Amino acid sequence: MVRLAQFSADCFVSAAIALVAEAGPSAASIPAIARRVGAPTGSLYHRFPSKAAVLAAAWAEVHGDFTAALVPPLFEGRARDAAMTLVDWSRARPLRARFLLLNDFGALVDGAPVPDDLRAEIARQEDVLDRAFLSLAGGHASAAEAAALRFRVFDAPVAALRPHLIGRGPIPEFVDDLVSGLFDNGRDALQGQAA
């Protein structure tokens, strides 16, 4: 008789996301992740070689979801929509937003080795996001213009979201107004596209 695995890799990834989102990276120890799932620690090690591997898998999943949401408006030259997508994505996925936007991948894995396939997937996602942003900025943007656009699309929206993510409360509607207001000068992107 074939014995089916009771605990999937996805269960451990979801538990790691929740633990980091709720209490920070130090809360996502191997025993805590296993306990969250209700699994023996050995079950987790059967699917992941290390804590860094399960956290990297969690990062790849959440960052991949984030990238998939943000890339279309970036490639389409819609800066305001990209910034608002970041807010909407965070509002719809508060646990994932706290996991991704309040942490840094390097600090999350704390310099521990990450399996090559996961490192390659995360690098691929970052490359897609970078290419989408460069497409939005256009080839003729100066470094200062590109930095200003990155601030409006990424940095300022994350700063507006941060206190609400830290406080674990709902993201209030005024955040939409703050983020949308970054584009009220009538220029959606550096090319002067309509908002």
Range name among 20-29, 85-94, 142-151 with the lowest pLDDT average: 142-151
**pTM of the full predicted structure?**
0.89
Mean pLDDT of the chain: 90
For tokens 């009538």, what's the residue? 186
Q: What is the pLDDT of residues 44-59, one digit of tens each?
A: 999 999 999 999 999 9
Domain count within the chain:
1
Q: How far apart are CA 58 and CA 100, in angstroms?
A: 10
Q: With respect to residue 40, please indicate whether it lies within any of the assigned structural domains.
A: no
The reply to whether 140 falls in a domain is: yes
pLDDT digits (tens, 9 = 90+) for 10-33: 999 999 999 999 999 999 999 999
Instruction: For residue 93, count other CB atoms closer than 10 A to its CB.
Output: 18
- pLDDT value for 146: 86
Per-residue pLDDT at 143: 84
Report if residue 91 sits inside a domain.
yes
Find, among 78, 103, 143, 125, the residue nearest to 22 by Cα.
103
Q: Give the model's pLDDT for residue 138.
A: 84
Is the pLDDT at 189 greater than 50? The verdict is: no
Residue 172 lies in a domain: yes
Decide: 16 and 55 in contact? Cβ < 8 Å: yes
**Has residue 4 got a pLDDT over 80?**
no
pLDDT for residue 6? 80
The verdict on residue 108 lying in a domain is: yes
- Measuring CA to CA, which residue among 66, 89, 59 is closest to residue 176? 89
The larger pLDDT score, comparing residue 7 to residue 185, is at 7
What's the pLDDT band for 123 if we cut at 50, 70, 90? very high
Question: Would you list the DSSP string of 141-174?
Answer: --HHHHHHHHIIIIIHHHHHHHHHHHHT----TH
Q: How confident is the model at residue 5 (pLDDT cuts 50, 70, 90)?
A: low
Instruction: Judge whether residue 192 has pLDDT over 50.
Output: no
Residue 172: give the domain boundaries.
55-181
Using alpha carbons, select from 102, 85, 105 the residue that is nearest to residue 166: 102
Q: Which two tokens stand for residue 140?
A: 């003729």
Higher-pLDDT residue of 147, 36: 36
